[in-house]
Amino acid sequence: MEKKKEMIKVKNLVKKFGDFTAVNGINFEVEEGEIFGLLGPNGAGKTTTLSMLATLLEITTGEAYVNDFDVATKRDEVRKSIGIVFQDPTLDDELTAYENLDFHGRLYGVPLAEREKKIAELLKLVELESKKNLLVKNFSGGMKRRLEIARSLLHEPKVLFLDEPTLGLDPQTRNKLWEYIKNLNKKKGVTVILTTHYMEEADSLCNRIAIIDHGNIIISGSPDDLRDQIGGDVITVETEDGVKLEKVIKGCKGCKSVKHHDGSVTINVDNASKKISEIVELVNHNKIKATSFVMHKPSLEDVFLHYTGKTIREEESSPIEHMRLRRRMWHGGGK
């Protein structure tokens, strides 16, 4: 089987803001036509990585290539190769949907006839053709997101960057947007790299995922491959005596890993249905208060917990480093 072109190549990429390292020597590649996800909590380095690839932030050290163009030296060529949807809305609310797309097309020098044809095609793709003359300030959050995606595709980019594309949307709208992203990837063949802290989003959309935390890529692979890294089953025990239970379970034969976190103990075993009675007996014998026992197959949340020792929720409940990074990005940081 012929190997596909690598649309994105990242080698030992580092970004520092003064003495703070936001991205710490990461490496990954994204093949043509792939949907690739950077999964991690707020402040993990996802947006900083995307911003360097999109030429919005200078690289401190390392190399990055988009569509074979060096991000550091071929900025114009990189920008022509990409479309981008930012976390925060960037549409003009006082313009109509059509006018927002038309303005973008003019900026990229798309000829009038071609521009009109593409606008009609893209509005149909995101099911907004009947809303084309409506002011964007009257759009819902989901409609705005769909319009931003349409706008990012108008100049026919090779790579589409989506930074937390469904942040703040309700679950129904989020699921609908996932379908649009998969559909445009299939129909247009555009390579997609997205950032997210939603496990289910990464699982639903991505061919491959890189789990990133504190500026480091912890592990990467397909969602199934990542779950297989853990293997077996998972038993989660809700308890206030997590430290005590963790010590007790670590002496249990057949328990491959035990993690105490956020009022729970997560135990990885080969056969949960056979092992759970033994674990319940250990809990009772050691007079540990437990409110629930849950058995399930490994999820991406379990993968994150296994390799970082915390859940994404726990990481986001301690936002000090994230706030520090945002301040440095806002006020500017040196190479």
**CA-closest candidate to residue 142, choices 103, 113, 118, 177:** 177
* Phi, psi (deg, nearest 5) at residue 29: -130, 150
- CATH class for domain 6-226? alpha beta
The answer to whether the CB of 13 falls within 8 A of the CB of 63 is yes
- What's the confidence (pLDDT) of residue 325? 47
The tokens for 17 are: 């803001």
Q: What 3 state SS string does 142-188 have?
A: HHHHHHHHHHHHCCCCCEEEEECCCCCCCHHHHHHHHHHHHHHHHHH
Give every CB contact of residue 105 below 8 A, 6+ residues apart in sequence.
115, 118, 119, 154, 155
DSSP 8-state code for residue 132: T
- What's the confidence (pLDDT) of residue 53? 97
- What's the confidence (pLDDT) of residue 208? 97
- What's the confidence (pLDDT) of residue 247? 86
- What's the confidence (pLDDT) of residue 331? 46
Give the C-alpha distances (Å, rounded to integers) separating 286 from 8, 22, 79, 247, 275. 53, 44, 61, 11, 17
**CA-closest candidate to residue 163, choices 54, 85, 217, 91:** 85
Query: Distance between alpha carbon 154 and the CA centroid of its chain, in Å?
Result: 23
- What's the confidence (pLDDT) of residue 322? 46
pTM: 0.84
DSSP 8-state code for residue 207: S
- What's the confidence (pLDDT) of residue 46? 95
What CATH homologous superfamily does 232-297 map to?
Answer: ACT domain (3.30.70.260)
3-state secondary structure of 168: coil
Q: Which residue has the tokens 């991690």?
A: 40
The C-alpha atoms of residue 267 and residue 299 are separated, in whole angstroms, by 13
The tokens for 10 are: 């990242």
- What's the confidence (pLDDT) of residue 319? 47
Give residue limits of the domains in the chain.
Answer: 6-226, 232-297
- What's the confidence (pLDDT) of residue 255? 82
Same fold, 6-226 and 232-297: no
Beta-strand relationship, 20-31 and 6-17: antiparallel
* pLDDT, tens only, 207-221: 999 999 999 999 999
Crossing angle of the two packed helices 97-107 and 141-153, in degrees rounded to 10: 30
What stretches in the chain show pLDDT beneath 50?
319-335
Beta-strand relationship, 6-17 and 82-85: unpaired
